[in-house]
Structure 1
Amino acid sequence: MKQLLLGYLPAEKDLWEGELANNRLRYAELKRELLLNPVKSLLVDFLYFQSEAEADSFECFVQLLSGSVDHFCQQLDNSSVGIHSTLLHFSELLKANDGELWRHLDASKVC
């Protein structure tokens, strides 16, 4: 019943067997593909995502800073809740979690 409610099966019961057979076939093909050549399957995804990495990184940065809009108040700039403190905190988090990227940004005078 839950497969029907989740949309895994068509509403007509007479089509269930065909849908289940197709799903089993697709699962077997995927399993065979991943077991026979896992590197190829993963490399294709990696190369695709690598080409989108800059745009994805920028989107993450925008989302991260979107919650900091209230911090852009000149009177608060140097306070513990101001933008300088927030960016310093982000820099420390980046340094702790991705030292290579932090060193690159630091050498580029970005952070």
Structure 2
Amino acid sequence: MAAIEKRALPLAALSAVCLAIPLFYPLAFPIAWFALAPLLIVLQTQRWQIAFTASALFGFVFHGLANYWLVPTIANLAPYADSTKQVMAVWAVIGFLALLLWQGLFSVRFGRVVWWAG
């Protein structure tokens, strides 16, 4: 049981990366068909605390990879704003982290439903 617990978080991160790979390389879309399998295994076989952490990590990693382009885009809007480029970069990072936390909640809710159903 302890060996599986040690692998729970890496499996959740692997699942998020595998699900995000087709966003960068569209021809790798078949990976997305199997990407959730490691996460579902973790959610079905772990205590609720580990399942919660794994689903939060999955959401944070996946949405971080899916929305990577937001920070440079917002930071480069500085010439059109009334503030400096550094201020825009700081707000871009703060907004990005807030967005990741918000989107991660949906993964946590998904994880809770899967864990409860299992």
- Report the TM-score when normalising by structure 2: 0.27
- Report the TM-score when normalising by structure 1: 0.28
The one of the two structures with greater contact order (alpha-carbon pairs below 8 A, sep at least 6) is 2
